[in-house]
Amino acid sequence: MNIKFRRFSEFLIEKAIFLSGIISILFVVLIFAFLLKEGLALFKYVSVKDFIFGAEWYPISEPPKFGIISLIMGSVWVTAGAIIISVPIGIAAAIYISEIAPRKIRGILKSGIEMLAAIPSVVIGFIGITTLVPLVKNVFGLSTGLTALSGSIMLAFMAIPTIVSIAEDAFYSIPKRYKEAALALGATHWQTIWRVLIKAAFPGIVAASMLGIGRVIGETMAVMMITGNVAKIPNSIFDPVRTLTATIAAEMGEAVRGSDHYFALFAIGIVLFVITFLINLIADIYINRELK
C-alpha cells in the first residue's frame, strides 16, 4: 500500500515536471510562430533585400519605405561600443576584486556591484540624459550629446555589473592549485594572472561577457532616451542613431494592427531574434571548443 502510494506520487511528480517542461517549450514555439507569421507578412509589400539593405525608414509616408539598414547600423554601433567599453573594464574589475583587492575591500566592492545591477534601466537612462548627454556634448564639442556613444557608455554601465560578478565567480572558482603551480614555478603575481588565471577562467569570461551583452542588447527604453532616435546611417560613433529595439518600442503603439507598418515592426523582431540567436550560437561553439 505504502509502496504503491509512493510509486504513484513519484509518477505524478514526474509527469508534472514533464508537463511544465513541455509547456515552456510550447510557449517559446508559439511566440516564435506568432513572430514569424506577423513578420513574414511584410514581405508581400517589400523584398527581403530592400527590407534589410534599404537605407530609408519612412513607415507612414506614401508610399512607405521599410529599409532598416540604418536601424541595424544604429544597433550595431551602440552595441559594439558598449562591448568595447564594458568587456575590458568588467574583466579588469573582476580581476581586481578576485585577485588583488584586500579582503575587506573585496566585500564592499562585491555588494556595491550587486547594487549597481539592481538599478532599473529607466533610472539609468534618466540619469544618463541629465548627466552623460551634456558631458559627451561638451567633452567632444558636438552639437548634441544624444549620440551612439552616449548609448554605448550607458549600456556598458548596465552590462558591467553582470560581467564583473560572473567573471569574478569564474576567477574565484579556478582551482587554487593552478595559482600555486604558477607561483611555485617563479611566475610573478601578474604573470600568474595573465598567463594562467585568465586562460583558466576564459570560458567563464566569455560567458560573463555574453550575459552582460545579452542583458543590454534588448535594452530599449534607456537607449531610446539617450541616442537621439534618428533613423539615419551613422557615420561615426558621435552621430545620433536609432536602434532596432527603440524603433519597435516607439512605433508599436501607433501602428495600425494588420497594416504593413505593423508587419514591418514584427519583421524587425525577427531580425533581432536572428541576431541574438547567432550570437548565442557563436558563443556556444566558442565555449565548447575552449572547454575541450
Mutual orientation of helices 202-217 and 69-95 as an angle, nearest 10°? 140
Nearer to other proteins, 83 or 182 (CB): 182
Q: Is residue 191 involved in binding other proteins (CB under 8 A)?
A: yes
Q: Which amino acid is at 177?
A: R
Q: Which of 63, 141, 175, 253 binds other proteins (CB under 8 A)?
A: 175
Smallest distance, other proteins to C-beta of residue 188, A = 6
Contact 227, 242 (CB under 8 A): yes
Smallest distance, other proteins to C-beta of residue 176, A = 9
Q: Which of 4, 49, 104, 292 binds other proteins (CB under 8 A)?
A: 292
Footprint of other proteins on 24-53 (CB under 8 A): none
Q: Which residues does residue 57 pair with via DSSP β-bridges, in sequence order?
A: 66
Residue 167 makes CB contacts below 8 A (sequence gap 6+) with 90, 91, 94, 201, 204, 205, 208, 209
Nearer to other proteins, 138 or 191 (CB): 191
**Residue indicated by cell numbers 557563436:** 282
Q: Is residue 100 involved in binding other proteins (CB under 8 A)?
A: no
Number of chain residues interacting with other proteins (CB under 8 A): 18
Stretch binding other proteins (CB under 8 A), from 18-26, 80-88, 171-179, 231-239: 171-179
Footprint of other proteins on 194-213 (CB under 8 A): 195-196, 199-200
Q: Which of 148, 154, 182, 223 binds other proteins (CB under 8 A)?
A: 182
Burial class (CB in 10 A: 0-12, 13-18, 19+), 258: exposed
> Residue 269: how many CB atoms within 10 A of its CB?
20
Q: Residue 241: what are its φ and ψ, rounded to 5°?
A: -140, 170
Contact positions vs other proteins (CB under 8 A): 175, 177-178, 180-188, 191, 195-196, 199-200, 292
